[in-house]
Amino acid sequence: MEWLNYHHLLYFWVVAKEGSIVKACDQLRLAQPTVSAQIRALEDSLGEKLFSRAGRSLVLTEFGRMVFGYADEIFGLGRELLEVSKGGSPERPLRLVVGISDSLPKSLVHSLLTPALEMKEPVHLICHEDHPERLLAALATMDLDVALTDAPSMPAVRVKTYNHLLGSCGVSLFAAPALARKMRGKFPQSLNGMPFLVPLESSTLRRSLDQWFESTGIRPRLVGEFQDSALAKAFGQAGIGVFAAPTAVEQSVKKNYGVVAVGRIDTVLEHYYAISVERKFKHPAVLAILQSAREELFPTRKPAPVAV
């Protein structure tokens, strides 16, 4: 039977947390060659590299990030064991690991996840943001409890997953007050010639907006394309252009960015999904997210029953 050398794992964990072998050696009170040799031994036993070089810095490889996640949990349990043995509370927060598609608006993600943190049972939330394809791969290896996306996983994906519809809503358009005052005329004609901030062409929302512009004959002036929706909102807040966000979080966007809604597009529907490798969710925090989304965040749809 093979056993993991936890001394090697500890040295790796400290180096990953500190970001350099030099800093880790100060904390561990060990010589640099000793720590380097122990990490190489761990890499040899696991069969893959844990770090790569980026100039003078050490950067975790993709495999290294996965190992660090396990190590963090292992040594966290060790600390908890010591606390319990000294008379501390044995209660552990419920761990929830969520994968978030990088195309989802941050304000919507916040609204979706907040119910999990408002449960009576304490929850330790861990968020990973990435491309949907990589999130599905992480689901397959059980590194995530759930993935939140704006598109369902397709049958062609080799990972067996289930799409749980959270809800759907239209799209609202926003602008800084000064820019909004320049938009004379009836919506949506008032958008003609106006500066517009759009998502990248690969996003679901961008394709929907392009189709809507084409069908209505509206011709805004595209001045910026953004992968990060929060960055687009920051530019919109500065008056650089009009931007779009889900109508479900319209009030939150207006409050947080000091912008006004200049129109709504009810014919452009955005759909949001929780993707899992389970047909029915059992995780209490995920069930709270589903129920709140279906009953409160997207109330225009008939609430779907939450699987238990």
pLDDT at 301: 46
Residues lower than pLDDT 50 in the chain: 301-308
The whole-angstrom separation of Cα 285 and Cα 174 is: 32
Which pLDDT value is given to residue 156? 57
State both tokens at 146.
Answer: 């759930």
Q: Alpha-carbon distance 243 to 179, whole Å?
A: 12
Q: What are the CB-based long-range contacts (under 8 Å, 24+) for 111-118?
A: 111/248, 111/249, 111/252, 111/297, 112/148, 112/166, 112/272, 112/289, 112/292, 112/293, 112/297, 113/289, 114/292, 115/288, 115/289, 115/291, 115/292, 116/285, 116/286, 116/288, 116/289, 118/288
pLDDT at 233: 95
Supply the pLDDT for residue 308.
26
Whole-number Å distance between alpha carbons of 164 and 190: 37
pTM: 0.66
Task: Determine the pLDDT at residue 87.
Answer: 62
Domains (ranges, CATH) in the chain? 6-85 (1.10.10.10), 94-167+271-297 (3.40.190.10), 169-270 (3.40.190.10)
- The pair of structure tokens assigned to 189 is 């004609």
- Pairing mode of beta strands 260-276, 162-175: antiparallel
- pLDDT score of 305: 39
Helices (H) and strands (E) in the chain, counts: 11, 10
pLDDT of residue 198: 96
What local confidence, expressed as pLDDT, does residue 29 receive? 87
User: In whole angstroms, what is the distance from residue 271 CA to residue 151 CA?
Assistant: 7
How high is the pLDDT of residue 304? Answer: 39
Count of all residues that appear for the chain in the document: 308
Dist CA 31 CA 213 (whole Å): 64
